[in-house]
Amino acid sequence: MHKLIRLKVVLILFILSASLPVFSGEERVDADIVIYDQEIARMKDEFSKIPKDDNDKEWVKKKLAHMVELDQYTRQFTDAPFRNNYSEEEKQYFWRVFGGGRWLPLDRKNTEDLKQLLEKYTWFKISEFGVPADRNAWLLVQHADQDIEFQKKILVVLENLYLQGETLPMNFAYLFDRVAVHDIPPRLQRFGTQGQCVGQGQWEPDPMEDPENIDIRRATVDLEPMAEYKKRFKDICH
């Protein structure tokens, strides 16, 4: 009889605890996530009003710009933990809900949509689509980290096109480095575009080929000297 009573008490406590937030800050994070969801929904709704026609290069340009808009808003939203001074528990909860539940799925969808466009167009050449479309498409490939084989395939395309003036040279440089550092095993990057924050306002590149001559190589693909590049991260590295 006593065992049955104890079992009922444990069951009641379990039900009550399940109905409560995991920690006091969960509701605050959820409120921020709602803001993100609403804005993403608004963007998608606006774009859905444009009739789809992947044979129309103007529509393709708008589609690429729309995907980048989603991409950039999502990445900017990753600043929420810092901007809103989350506790460590809130940060962990945010990355679980936002990272796995929003960010990664959005990147996967953008990659799949881009692949569909590339079934019709080898690339969005500057002479045909203009610089913005070329750059937008590159950025989506750059962020397709869940599909490195796709990135490698496009890297070959861009290597040929940048020599012809049909894609920005820096697009090739950034993607080359991205593939190198994410490859298995990782390889040395060539242009020093990839790295990480090492302190407040401080960023350092991942290992590079021939670091003494990095600025010479960067100049060949229209990139500023490394010292200037590092300054970009002053307000990004928290």
With a pLDDT cut of 70, the percent of the chain lying above it is: 89
Distance CA 166, CA 25 (A): 49
Query: In 3D, which of 38, 61, 190 has the Cα closest to residue 129?
Result: 61
Instruction: Let me know: does 121 contact 160? Beta carbons within 8 Å.
Output: no
Cβ count near 19 (within 10 Å) = 7
User: pLDDT per residue over 88-133, tens digit each?
Assistant: 999 999 999 999 999 999 999 999 999 999 999 999 999 999 999 9
Query: In 3D, which of 83, 79, 72, 118 has the Cα closest to residue 95?
Result: 79
Position of tokens 């990839």?
Answer: 194
Question: What's the Rg (C-alpha) of the chain?
Answer: 23
Residues whose CB falls within 8 Å of the CB of residue 111, separated by 6 or more in sequence, listed in order: 140, 144, 146, 147, 150
Sign of CA dihedral 141, 146, 150, 154: positive
Distance CA 188, CA 104 (A): 26
User: pLDDT per residue over 53-85, tens digit each?
Assistant: 999 999 999 999 999 999 999 999 999 999 999
pTM of model > 0.85: yes
Distance CA 124, CA 167 (A): 8
The SS3 assignment for 211 reads helix
Distance CA 216, CA 24 (A): 53
- Give 24's pLDDT tier (boundaries 50, 70, 90): low
Instruction: Let me know: does 224 contact 191? Beta carbons within 8 Å.
Output: no
Instruction: Let me know: does 187 contact 180? Beta carbons within 8 Å.
Output: yes
With a pLDDT cut of 90, the percent of the chain lying above it is: 88
For residue 191, the model assigns a pLDDT of 98
**Does residue 215 have a pLDDT over 50?**
yes
